């Protein structure tokens, strides 16, 4: 963000102009939300506070006055300019209630714990009644890490200025932000930066498609076939033309549309028509499971590894493999374990996922409430999915969707990105307290939303 701002300034746009765009862009949201009612602003000493004075003046010009609280005077030249352009007074005393509150105490310049009068003000803000809006980011959140550095307020809306910061997509920080909106201030960013995942467009089958050309997915089952059946249920509804279960168990309860191949695994894997493989859900961690994983990797097809496959995976298994064809879907525990197996010592979920991708070439989907993808096309963040996804088996459903998309087009990064969107949409459709089986069935209407 600083680099983009500097580039804009080097090209002749002043910091004051950027602040004016930020403040006015935010003020347009705030006037709509306040709908003529009073607004109370909290202004800090840096440029985040500067934005606050611009917002306050904009509101005054509309005749929509309110209070401005500013425990310290502006400390930057541009914030001083904004303060001078503000024609109102600075308020004192306790915070009023029943206002639209706008928090401009600290933005991305927050570097240390918020204490003293600023912390008191944030606590008072947390306790008072009224809608709360954070400008750029909540004032006790460090923008790069999402680390909490003071009293955390629950906001109704967070208005990011110019670009999303990492903290906007990191838990638990993102849970405090309410709705999030981006205010465009006309900055240019280099390609390749981490960014928010854009809604995918899913193509229907080509007019001349047949089941193999649409994608044959082979799911390698293991000791606990229930999990791979769940993945298969989701995969059948995610676009692949043909889903097979490679299993040496009997499955009295498989759906008629799922083909079970109970012959020797090595033979089944020789089928040239296989577009993608999935292995891991219900695989188990026995030596036999390890052999199945090695055989699946040796088949050299695009492959999704999940669950037990991630516990068994080690660097020797993928040495010499075309790892751009491998997609992995670890949760937090599996990610930590993979980092250990691959000798990665970085801290933090985003950095771990990026390092694992850089080290191995695999596309890494670090799932959870703050899912992040580090893949061939760079790093992608996602809006939070419904918290009802925190149910057993929903990860198997995600793996099934990912593998089905991989069978369709063979691109690991794209398959994982599409899978997150389909998974979240299916969860929205499934509503409350759903089971993983119900979620798998909701993948069909979810896919229709992206055609």
Ligand X SMILES: NC(=O)C1=CN([C@@H]2O[C@H](COP(=O)(O)OP(=O)(O)OC[C@H]3O[C@@H](n4cnc5c(N)ncnc54)[C@H](O)[C@@H]3O)[C@@H](O)[C@H]2O)[C@@H](O)CC1
Ligand Y SMILES: Nc1ncnc2c1ncn2[C@@H]1O[C@H](COP(=O)(O)OP(=O)(O)O)[C@@H](O)[C@H]1O
Binding site for ligand Y (CB under 6 A): 307, 331, 367-369, 371, 384-385, 387, 389-390, 392-396, 398, 423
Residue closer to K ion by CB (options 134, 415) is: 134
Rounded-to-integer distance, Cα 271 and Cα 301, Å: 11
Stretch of residues binding K ion (CB under 5 A), selected from 135-143, 274-282, 332-340, 418-426: 135-143
Choose from ligand X, K ion, ligand Y, none: what does 49 bind? Cβ within 5-8 Å by kind. Answer: ligand X
Among residues 41, 42, 46, 219, the one that binds ligand X under rule CB under 6 A: 46
**Residue 134 near ligand X by CB under 6 A:** no
Residue closer to ligand Y by CB (options 81, 405) is: 405
Stretch of residues binding ligand X (CB under 6 A), selected from 107-115, 193-201, 273-281, 355-363: 107-115
Rounded-to-integer distance, Cα 152 and Cα 439, Å: 33
Rounded-to-integer distance, Cα 100 and Cα 161, Å: 19
Number of residues that bind K ion (CB under 5 A): 4
Q: Which two tokens stand for residue 187?
A: 């900055």
Answer yes or no: are the C-beta atoms of 424 and 411 closer than 8 Å.
Answer: no
Answer yes or no: are the C-beta atoms of 13 and 23 closer than 8 Å.
Answer: no
- Output the residue with the shortest Cβ distance to K ion: 139
> Segment 94-113, which members bind K ion (CB under 5 A)?
103
Choose from K ion, ligand X, ligand Y, none: what does 139 bind? Cβ within 5-8 Å by kind. Answer: K ion
Choose from ligand Y, K ion, ligand X, none: what does 111 bind? Cβ within 5-8 Å by kind. Answer: ligand X
Partners of 43 in the β-ladder: 104
Residue closer to ligand Y by CB (options 151, 282) is: 282
Answer yes or no: are the C-beta atoms of 157 and 34 closer than 8 Å.
Answer: no
CB 134 to ligand Y: min, Å:
21
CB 213 to ligand X: min, Å:
50
| 370 belongs to an annotated ligand binding site | yes
Q: Where are the beta strands (DSSP E) in 340-446?
A: 363-366, 372-375, 378-381
> Segment 253-282, which members bind K ion (CB under 5 A)?
none
Hey, how many other C-beta atoms are within 10 angstroms of the C-beta on 448? 11
- Which runs of consecutive H residues, i.e. helices, occur in 200-302? 225-235, 265-268, 287-298
Name the burial class of residue 332, with classes exposed (0-12), middle (13-18) and buried (19+) by CB atoms within 10 angstroms of its CB.
middle
| 367 belongs to an annotated ligand binding site | yes
Rounded-to-integer distance, Cα 351 and Cα 335, Å: 11
**Residue 109 near ligand X by CB under 6 A:** yes
Helix axes 15-34, 2-10, angle to 10 degrees: 120
Rounded-to-integer distance, Cα 238 and Cα 430, Å: 16
- Tokens 């999402």 map to which residue? 146
Residue closer to ligand Y by CB (options 86, 382) is: 382
Stretch of residues binding ligand X (CB under 6 A), selected from 13-21, 278-286, 299-307, 433-441: 13-21
CB 424 to ligand Y: min, Å:
8
Which residues contribute to the annotated binding site for (6S)-NADPHX? 227, 282, 331, 396
Residues contributing to the annotated binding site: 227, 282, 331, 367-371, 395-396
């Amino acid at each position: 963000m600083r680099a983009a701002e500097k580039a804009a300034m080097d090209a002749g746009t002043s910091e004051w102009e950027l602040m004016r765009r930020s403040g006015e862009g935010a003020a347009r949201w705030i006037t709509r939300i306040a709908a003529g009612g009073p607004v109370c602003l909290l202004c800090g000493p840096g440029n985040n506070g500067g934005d606050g004075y611009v917002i306050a003046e904009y509101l005054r010009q509309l005749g929509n006055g309110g209070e401005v609280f500013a425990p310290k005077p502006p400390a930057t030249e541009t914030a001083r300019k904004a303060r001078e352009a503000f024609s109102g007074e600075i308020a004192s005393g306790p915070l009023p209630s029943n206002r639209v509150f706008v928090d401009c105490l600290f933005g991305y310049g927050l570097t240390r714990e918020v204490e003293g009068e600023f912390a008191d003000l944030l606590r008072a803000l947390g306790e008072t009644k009224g809608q709360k809006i954070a400008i750029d980011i909540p004032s006790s959140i460090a923008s790069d890490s999402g680390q909490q550095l003071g009293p955390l307020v629950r906001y109704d809306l967070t208005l990011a200025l110019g670009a999303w910061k990492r903290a906007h997509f990191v838990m638990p920080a993102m849970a405090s932000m309410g709705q999030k909106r981006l205010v465009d201030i006309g900055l240019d960013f280099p390609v390749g930066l981490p960014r928010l995942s854009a809604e995918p467009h899913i193509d229907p089958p080509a007019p001349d498609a047949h089941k193999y050309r649409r994608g044959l997915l082979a799911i390698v089952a293991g000791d606990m076939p229930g999990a791979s059946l769940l993945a298969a249920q989701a995969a059948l509804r995610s676009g692949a033309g043909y889903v097979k279960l490679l299993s040496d168990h009997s499955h009295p309860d498989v759906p008629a549309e799922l083909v079970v191949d109970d012959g020797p695994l090595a033979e089944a894997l020789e089928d040239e028509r296989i577009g993608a493989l999935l292995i891991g859900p219900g695989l188990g961690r026995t030596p036999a499971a390890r052999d199945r994983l090695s055989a699946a990797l040796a088949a050299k097809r695009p492959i999704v590894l999940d669950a037990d496959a991630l516990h068994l995976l080690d660097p020797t298994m993928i040495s010499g493999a075309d790892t751009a064809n491998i997609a992995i879907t670890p949760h937090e525990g599996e990610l930590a374990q993979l980092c250990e197996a691959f000798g990665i010592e970085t801290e933090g979920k985003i950095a771990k996922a990026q390092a694992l991708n850089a080290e191995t070439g695999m596309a890494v989907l670090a799932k959870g409430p703050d899912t992040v993808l580090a893949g061939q096309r760079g790093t992608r963040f996602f809006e939070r999915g419904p918290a009802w996804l925190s149910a057993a088996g929903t990860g198997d459903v995600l793996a099934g969707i990912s593998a089905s998309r991989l069978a369709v087009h063979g691109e690991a990064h794209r398959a994982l990105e599409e899978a997150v969107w389909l998974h979240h949409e299916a969860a929205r459709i499934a509503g409350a307290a759903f089971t993983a089986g119900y979620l798998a069935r909701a993948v069909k209407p979810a896919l229709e939303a992206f055609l």
